[in-house]
Amino acid sequence: MRAKTPGTVGWRLVGYCALLLGGMTAALLAWYGTGAAGVRAVIRASAKTSLILFLCAFVASSAARRWPAPATRWLLANRRYLGVSFALSHALHLAVILILLRVDPEFAISRGTIVGGGLAYLFIFAMAATSFDRSAAWVGSVVWRRLHTVGSYYIWFIFFASYAPRAAIQSIWYLPLVLLLLAGLFLRLTRKRVASRTSIVPIPTA
């Protein structure tokens, strides 16, 4: 088993995030009701919690290299748990989408969303499944690195493809989210090439 870096919260961090996601869902359903409006509120909120958790994991390594400081070292030490918490948050996004299909007869999912979003979910579940020491060692470092690199850029793209049109057409309030995504990508693409680690959780050492 890997020795813990100081500042690592570990799997407890995933537990705290699960509690926060549960509390957020309960509060939104209490406020907006358990019909389509409440379910849609949870879909939108879970997309945002997913975005924040995803970006933290996505930039952790680049930020720690560029700005070595306690905060960025904390991000790096907890990158794996932030990545798994993102998967959890996005599992909530999927669960409430399935609930919306039941509570709103008008709601339908386009073929493009099923293919594009479905592929993102395959990456998310595969990346989460290989975020444990044993499963990571089992797939091997080459496959692991490719999966987590390609997967994280693809997930970034789906976030961008979801928020950019909303910022352009629906509301200016989506613009900060688009800018955050672009800043995260810029940080990743311009990072110092000390080593070639490019993904959400540390590469298995075994």
Residues of the shown chain interacting with ligand HEM in the complex, contacts defined by CB under 6 A? 40, 43-44, 47, 93, 97, 109, 113-114, 117-118, 120-121, 155, 158-159, 162-163, 166
Minimal distance in Å, beta carbon 166 to ligand HEM?
6
Question: Between 68 and 118, whose beta carbon lies closer to ligand HEM?
Answer: 118
Identify which of residues 109 and 143 has a Cβ nearer to ligand HEM in the complex. 109
Q: Which is nearer to ligand HEM, 64 or 155 (CB)?
A: 155
Among 40, 77, 39, 43, smallest CA distance to 60 is for 77
Q: Which residue is nearest to ligand HEM (CB)?
A: 117
Cβ-based neighbours of 110, under 8 Å, separated by 6 or more? none
Work out whether the CA dihedral 21, 26, 29, 35 comes out positive or negative. Answer: positive
CB within 8 A of 126, min separation 6: which ones?
A: 147, 151
Question: In the complex, what is the shortest distance from the CB of residue 192 to ligand HEM, in angstroms, rounded to a whole number?
Answer: 27
Distance CA(193)–CA(155), nearest Å, equals: 22
Q: Which residue has the tokens 């700005």?
A: 67
Q: How far is the CB of 157 from ligand HEM (least distance, A)?
A: 8
**Residue 40 to residues 7, 8, 19, 101, 114: CA-CA distances in angstroms?**
36, 34, 20, 11, 18
Complex with ligand HEM: residue 184 or 204, whichever CB lies closer: 184
